[in-house]
Structure 1
Amino acid sequence: MTTVVPELEAVLEWVERSPDAPAVMFQGETASYQELWDRAGVVATNVRELGATTAGVHLERSIDLVVAVIGLLRAECTAVPLDVAYPVDRLRFICADAGVRLVVGHETAVDRLGGFTPVRRTGTIVYALDESVPVEAAEPDLAYVVYTSGSTGRPKGVRYAHRNLANLIAWQRDASSCAAGDRTLQFAPSSFDIIYQEVLSTLGEGGTVVCCTEDERLDPQELWDLIEAERVNRIFVPFVMIQSLALFADEVTPRTHPLREILTAGEQVQASDRIRTLFTRLPDCRLVNQWGTTETHVATSYELPADVSTWEDLPSIGSPIWETRVLVCDEDGRPVADGETGELWVAGTAVGPGYVRLPERTAQSYVPDPQRPDEPAYRTGDLGRVRPDGLLEFLGRQDTQVKVRGFRIELGEIETILNSDPAVAQAVVSVSGVAAEERYLRAYVVPKERSDDELPTALLASLRERLPAYMVPVGIDLVASLPRTASGKIDRLALGSAG
């Protein structure tokens, strides 16, 4: 057998066992396992011949996107997802920060990116180089770098290794009820690490990846229609999408919608009556609540019971995945007793190598494991406790990093941009809304000129040029001053309730 990175070994086994089985489907087009592997091999060959150790992935939703994901893994070239929906300035920052010399993309997307010259083409995939970027030595074992919102106003590149990814995918295949012939929706944006979980666990099981359009992804009724038409068995979606799907589930039955697993991560699961009704309509489908951060991907998982009447309103985040431990620690990094609240630290194989070009931030967040000092642990900033039944309970964030509609957002990045405007004296961003589907961002600005009524419109326009749409507040309120706590800090809770 050909030698491949560990997370692709099971995929290659299915290529050799069932080469003609459908691997990926999109809008009537199907690629078999052999075709997918061959097309990914072409990508790997081109990437190697062009000398790339790090490559941007700038593709629209398509079979090409799955081909590129597999191809870069085969080339052992670090992938840097470049979401086609992101503003150009953000994409250029990511490319510069990650040292992206080669971009694998669709022509229109690459042209918009600028600075990269197409040098090869295979089918609809273009290979474009930026000759001004120096060739850097490959970082051993590095699978991909995903950029998250940054608390200092600078997006952070999170590195994730092949060994981390291989452990997660092997665990996911073992934990899932899906198997050969089952179909999984490719829902996650290319900029999310979840795409690796969707694609590699499915192909490693002998299943089929079903790609969706952006319209289908955003419209719950269209998504239900796709699930029915393509006989989808598993989806990985943010909890807010589950809530949206539940609103349009009146006609859903096991016969028409053969879902067996709905996996969610990124937000607190709330088992409302509507959610319970959805899973009552689909008695063979299980809801799986996963927890983790981009730095650790999935760290824990909890499959809710078949009997929805036993569900807690706020279900547990469960137990650690294979080769992973979660510690509940006090401010000094000492594990606390079960039942006590503390910060959740992740240790073991789930912990990645750290951030790109941010050694101080890496040292702050990736610290010695208090139980095994020679190994790293990641301080998540999430609060939690161990319940009497031994399962973990998530209790919110320590800092200003928040989750809104499935996206992890550092409020500081948005605030940094607002506060850099010469017309702004001070700005803060808060989250309003209680239920997941109601949460939204709102900014509060103290202007330098009290009569500047056009400032909110101008600031929103500036934010839209520099940030992804999910990070742009729904509105900006001009205020004379910002509320403070007794210690003099900005009272974010007061802002949120005011919004």
Structure 2
Amino acid sequence: MSGLRQLLAGGDVLSPNHVMRAVAALPGCQLINGYGPTENTTFTCCYRVPREGWGGGPVPIGVPIGGTYVRLLDDAMRPVRDGEIGMLYAGGLGLAVDYAGDPLRSAEQFVPDPQRPASKLYRTGDLVRRRPDGNLDFIGRRDRQIKVDGKRVELGEIEEAVRRCAGVSDAVVTATKGDTGALVLTAHVKPAAAGQGQVAVAAVHAQATQALPPHMRPSRIVAHDEFPLTANGKIDQRLLAARAAVEPSPIMSATSETERMLSGIFTRVLGVHSIDVATNFFELGATSLKLMEAHASISRIWPQVDVLTLFRHPTIRDLARALDGRHGSIAQEAQRRAQGQAAALQRLHNARPR
């Protein structure tokens, strides 16, 4: 392939690591990331990949090609600001007229352009974001947008954060229902080097969980040597989700007095019979309101603990370590309380008139 002068790639999301490997291996070749639905053939946007990279994140899909234009709109068909996520609508000379023999689907997908009422746009169903330099980032499909704890979550945004972690070559995030009916986010990661799955998992635990807000943090992280593929060569996200839903997890019981106290609080608040001390609260069905309820009970034992501590340490094991590290163990806390009560009684006794 050393004689190639230009290589156009399209049809699926490009892996940043593979793109940079291709750029390094083909010094005389210009790699172009092409994006475009069949309904606006052939490409809608293109991005000429710089040899020095693009500043991190997903490989941009670029800007519209000649004769084509795009709109980034919200649910009310209003333009979104740069940096905000919106649905991509495509228009221009390559736009199809409609779906032959399917007027209902045509009306749903080919809609009037709010800025040019006489023209039509194709509703791609793809969520994108415009960078400061004008290039577009592909975030994910609209049908991969979910709600967690009442907040809208783009799975593509979580994947982007996971891919930035050291030792991770690629990532897919799936959402499945747990035993309590709550959505469970699972990060499926492909390590950058063979046999380094645990290293990649540890990096995601350490880095992505700090970079993401609590409701977007994956409850589970699973390493795969290779991702399963569909018949047309794309990552089989449905199979990954199905595996995540049925894969059993070992139950880890409380091993310290602090963990046992916390387990009692959370089993009561969440309405479960038993609890795994290593399982994320949100996987167990917790919401922000449930954590606030748990915090009310916890603060009776550890008065100086704020509710944010529960979000920063979203498992009983992590929370117990944080509490023991900050305030001492249960035994030490009980001893301090007993000493305080004894001192108070002594002061009352000394204050009594003789």
Q: TM-score, normalised by structure 2?
A: 0.42
More strand by percentage: 1
Instruction: Name which structure has the greater RCO, CA cutoff 8 Å, separation 6+.
Output: 1
- State which structure, 1 or 2, has the greater radius of gyration over its C-alpha atoms: 2
